[in-house]
Each structure stands twice: as structure tokens, then as C-alpha cells.
Structure 1
Amino acid sequence: MTLRASLLAVPFAAGFMLSALPAATAQDLPDLGGREVVVVTENAYPPLQFVDPKSGEQIGWEYDAMNEIAKRLNISVTYQNTSWDAMIQSVSDAQYDIGMTGITIRDDRKEKVDFSDPYMRSEMLMLVRSDEDRFDDGKSFGALEDTLIGAQPGTSPFYTAVYEVLDGNEANPRIKLFETFGASVQALRAGDVDMVLTDSTGGKGYVEASDGALKLVGEPLGSEDFGFIFAKGSDLVAPINAAIAALKADGTMDALNKKWFLDYKMGQ
């Protein structure tokens, strides 16, 4: 969905965009008195959140951002993990207080959960093997009838594949479905599919971790805004939004973007 008219999109590096919001200072933020909050994530979306292959630690942009939000709002955060397929419903059922895994803000999802304000904008790109030379955009891919796309059902890449690359048929046999994004990338590397659609956030992380096996090609096929999710009517939405605005206003978001999208190297 598009950002509200009051938001001004400000470009950042590598296809990421921050949204300028009214400045919020530390004294504007509510004190939630050490409230315990359970945040659920997938840990399959570098560099937003993933398990460090060396230390086994859960790390990433979203962890850093949420930890900073927790400090400023005086909340105590516990992290748990679940699959993407289960995440939106489990948060909707209030099994967890907040969900984070680069979740695209969409109207259909708003029927089940409330979203925070956008904390990041990313563009949809084509992830392919590094030796791929048969296509370099959605149109040329769609014209090659023997090529396959790997996707997760119900995700933004799935719908982009269906409506922007193929023929609008959600049952098109050229789309091979996988339970996780990581599984679709493994299938790509193994030659079982020819392309995986990903936003620039996850795609850049997987390319850096691939030791030259993968690359991103083509122009962006669209953009999407990411937000945290909550059970409908959650009283955490307003304070989290205030904290997001504060992190943007004081440069913390810029620092996190530099750390995770420019400086951090997967596997090093």
C-alpha cells in the first residue's frame, strides 16, 4: 500500500527508503513501567533478523531496533520464533504481543492485525543464480515458458510473481511453493527453480551470504512498506509508533541502516 500523504519518502542506500515523520524526542515517549512484551519473529530474513552462523546468536536490524525501542519505552522484551505461515494468525490471536519479520503493510492483513507506522521501505527484485543470462526482467522471464519461480504462498513475492511477472493465475504451475523463503533460495541454488522474487532487504543479505552463487537482476518490480504487527486494538501501537518516530528523528534508523545494509558482511 502507499504511504499516507503526510509522509515524505527519503531515499537511502541500496533501494531502502526511510519516511520522514514529525520529530519525537525522548521526553515525548511514554514510560510503560517495565511491561513484559513478547515479540515473535522468523529468524529467516537477513539482515533484518537471522541466526549468526558463527555465534548462534539471534541478530539483525529488527533486533537492534526493537531493543532500542524497548529501552526508550521501558519495556522488557522476550523473543520467540515461529514460521511465517503461523505468524500473522498467532499475533492476531494474541499469542504474542508483536510480530516482526519484514512484514509488508497490506490492507488484507489489516483485517487480522494492526500495523505500526512504516519503519522501512524496500523494493521487489529478482534473485537468480550468478550465471543466469536468459532473462533480466519480469517480461523476459515470463516469456520463457520453461522457467520456474520459487515463492511462499500469501507473501508479497508470491503476488508479484502472479500479477506482475506471469498471467494472474494463482495456480500457475510455473510457481513452486515453499514453506520458507530460505527453502526457496536453496531450491534456486540447486537449480530446482530459476528465480525467486525478494525485496531488496532479504535479497541483499542472501547475495552476500552466497559466496558468489547468487545475484539480483533487473529493475524493481514495485516497492513495499514494512511494519510491526499487533493484535487488533493493541495499546502498544501508539507507543511503538512514537518510538519509531523518535528513532527516525534522531538518526538512530540511519545508523542501523549503515550498520546492517552497508557495513555488515554475512559470514565474516
Structure 2
Amino acid sequence: MIRTRIVPLALTAAATAMALTACSADGGDTEASSAASTAASAVDTSLTDVQEAGVLVVGTEGTYRPFTFHDEGSGDLTGYDVDVITAVADKLGVDVQFEETAWDAIFAGLEAGRFDVIANQVGISPERQEKYTFSTPYTYSTGVVVVKAGNDDIHSYEDLAGKTAAQSLTSNYGEEAKAAGATIEAVDGWAQSIALVEQGRVDATINDKLTFLDYVNSTGSDAVKVAAEGADVAESALAFRGGSDALAAAASDALAELAADGTLAELSQKYFGADVSVAS
């Protein structure tokens, strides 16, 4: 602050010096206060907020088998992602509370603060990384070409040329099948695709490896097999609000512990019959 004083001439020099000193001190206080305010506003309390609340609130669909769904017998919420995030919360020393939310609204719920994290096979992408903070991945998957058991004509994506593939027209996998030269038999989803393959009405379908593993694990089917696997690996992780670095880092540490003690591999085997927690 600049102060104006009327003083006798003899005191001018001293007064000027004092005023300059005061000015410097006031300016320093203002700058320090501003810096402190900025630092305070930048403090990441995401982890301490959860620890103080004693609960990690989780957004998940509850309708996406085998990742998050309701057990037909008990009606309880279960699934690979449900078990993983429950184990993470246990490592953090807090309870877990699930908020079931439709996928189309799940990111809006996270941004609005309805929950602390999304556990719902959220794929990591550059676009999402610009808005959200991610843990380390805990699921890895690729696209696979599924054929009827005994089919020895298809061993690669290139072998789909001239063959018929059952695909959803709007899916990335449908585009891959087209690019490989396959004739597309349009279907609504995986259930129709795999039925047509098993019946021999189409030669193949391209789909997510996790979907295939869950199908075989849950049905025990030996009527189909993986003929080829794509090179691109999709990674899924826990998604947090942007700036929640402390909470995401703690979750990543917990996931590392769960990988080291075999928990993630055990959960993978439970739901998929294979370890999907590591990149193959």
C-alpha cells in the first residue's frame, strides 16, 4: 500500500525511507498472501477426504457382466470390477459404497461429485486423460477372431478375406472385419454372433477377448475357439476426477500390492479363467 504523508523537511529523508520500507513490507505481505491462497486452492485433498469420510464411493453400472452385475441367486452386486475396487478400498483402510449409474451418465456423476471413482472397465484414451485422472491399468484386452472348433481355415485377420463374419455394424470390430475383407452378417451383439458361429452359419466373429473368456468360463462351451488375436491392447483402469492425483496414486499402490500378492490373478481366474490383469 502507498501512503502519502505531509512532514517537516528535516524528516523527509527518514520518512521516505520508512515509507519505502513499509511499502516493501506491505507488498511482500500481499504477494505472500496471494501465493498462499493459490497454493491452498491447489492442494489435492482427494485422498484425505476419502480417509476422513471412511468410505470410497464408487460409480458402476451393475448391468455389465462379468465386470459389474447382480448375482441371479442372491441379487448382490458382484463382478470383476466390483471385487477389484472392494479390495482396493480395503487396502486404503476404508469401506466401499456403490452408486449404480447408467453408463451414459456415469462420467457426469463423477464430475458432479456423486462418487469418488468409476470402476466399470473404463478404457484409457487420450481424450479421457485430458479430463480425468487414471490409476494404473488392472485389465488388458485385445480383439480376437472367434471361429467354430475344428475350423482350420482361419489363422489370422488376413484369412477373413472372402469369409463371412457376424458383427454389429456400429462396432469397431465390425470395421476391422470389413477392412480384412470379410462379408458382414449384421447382428445385434455378442449373443447372436456366437450363436451363428457355433451353428456354422458364419465363419467367424471378431470381438473382445474378455467377452469370449467370460462366455467360455460361464458356459463351459468347447464349441468355439480363438483363431487369431489382434495386436492392439486395450487398457482399463479406475477413473477419478481430474486433479485427484493423491487418491489415484494411492489406488495404484493398492493395485500393485494386489498384483504382487496374487489377488488380481485370482480374481481374473474366477471371472475369466485366465489372468487378464497383465498384458500378455
The TM-score with structure 2 as length reference comes to 0.62
Instruction: Report the Cα distance in structure 2 between the residues aligned to 1:254 and 1:159, rounded to whole angstroms.
Output: 28
1:206 is the counterpart of 2:226: no
Residue 73 of structure 1: how far off its partner (Å): 0.9
Partner of 2:192: 187
Shift of 1:106: 1.9
The 1:138/1:224 distance shift into structure 2, 3 A limit, reads same
| 212 and 257 in structure 1: CA distance in 2 versus 1, 3 angstrom threshold | closer
Structure 2 residue corresponding to 1:110, chosen from 109, 129, 137 = 129
1:44 and 2:64 matched = yes
Q: C-alpha displacement at 1:149, in angstroms?
A: 0.9
Identity rate, percent: 24
Structure 1 residue 142, shift from structure 2 partner:
4.4
- Secondary structure, in 3 states, of the residue corresponding to 1:37? strand
Instruction: Deviation per CA, 1:131-182: give whole Å up to 9, x if none.
Output: 87875542233433x544127x5xxxx33542x43239xxx9948585xxxx
Decide whether aligned partners of structure 1 residues 217 and 253 sit closer, same or farther in structure 2, where only a CA change above 3 A counts: closer
Across the aligned residues of Structure 1 and Structure 2, the Cα RMSD in angstroms comes to: 3.6
Q: Distance in 2 between matches of 1:262 and 1:126?
A: 18
Instruction: Say whether the 8 Å CA contact 1:45–1:102 is kept in structure 2.
Output: no
* 1:207-241, Cα deviation, whole Å (9 max, x unpaired): 23346386342221132222111222225212211
Distance 1:246 1:57 in 2: 26
Structure 1 unmatched ranges of 5 or more: 1-28, 179-183, 264-268
Answer with 1 or 2: which has the greater Rg: 2
- What does residue range 69-88 of structure 1 map to in structure 2 within 5 Å? 69-88=88-107
Higher relative contact order (CA 8 A, sep 6+): 1
Residue number in structure 2 paired with 1:25: none
- Of 174, 178, 188, which aligns to 1:166? 178
Number of aligned positions between the proteins: 219
2:253 & 2:83 partners in 1: Cα distance? 17
**AA at the equivalent of 2:178:** L
Q: TM-score, normalised by structure 1?
A: 0.64
Residues in 2 aligned to 1:217 and 1:262: alpha-carbon distance in whole angstroms: 14
Q: Which structure shows the bigger proportion of residues in helix conformation?
A: 2
- Aligned counterpart, 2:244: 234
Q: Which runs of 5+ in 2 are unaligned?
A: 1-46, 275-280
